[in-house]
Structure 1
């Protein structure tokens, strides 16, 4: 067996038990990882992305009808340094300057949005001026299985285990 506790663990949170289902949220999540264009400063890259490019993305055609959430995740040298000590646990920071996160009801909606973007000279032109198009972008697509925290209202779904859950305090007292 892959893990000895797979079927023997006494669960503190029964809703997490094996074969009890999951808390899969009703949207797909798309993560697009990329780096700044060579020769640009970090300051310019991050400022341009969170202002000019964000405004163009939000203003573009029917874009916001094809997704329910857009988040920019910014990583700079200072933040990479903060987690550099995690290498002792065999964890390495991803070498990306940014990650755009989108939630969509389904893949078709998001693919329509991406097709529209790539048919827009304004957005593609903007993106190619601040991102490293030679290195390309890397994409992950999947679903959220929400374990802890509240759902995202605009994306739907159900809460996970909430911070106010009395079982959390009980577990802390037992330790």
Structure 2
């Protein structure tokens, strides 16, 4: 099927009249709905979205004899929905209160130890194995301070590496 000048003009007219792509395809004949949509996009014809969303219907109040469950279900239905234009449903703006996050600062004074700057060969079971820098550079080294008996790091680096589960949840 070729798009002749006459068919393109008819497409423009039908599109401006507000017909759907399926209706236009049926009137043109020999063309699919998707072909009409593609041609509309290539011609950069104006998008024709709905002016507003469908109005919200109010549900009738439930009789008192039906119980509270029906009345409870009817309450959220009266909530106003945001209006969208065209295919902008994902752009609907909802009023949301911002989440306030507190920054937790350590209570004690933190003293960063001076690194002994040991190489991999100089490490032993009693030295801190906290890496400093990029391993691909020549100035890469390890902390090298005295490590705790329970792990591979000094007391400073152990506090960084091992946080209690409650603190990890709080930082998220």
TM-score for both structures, normalised by structure 1: 0.19
Larger radius of gyration: 2
TM-score for both structures, normalised by structure 2: 0.20
The one of the two structures with greater contact order (alpha-carbon pairs below 8 A, sep at least 6) is: 1
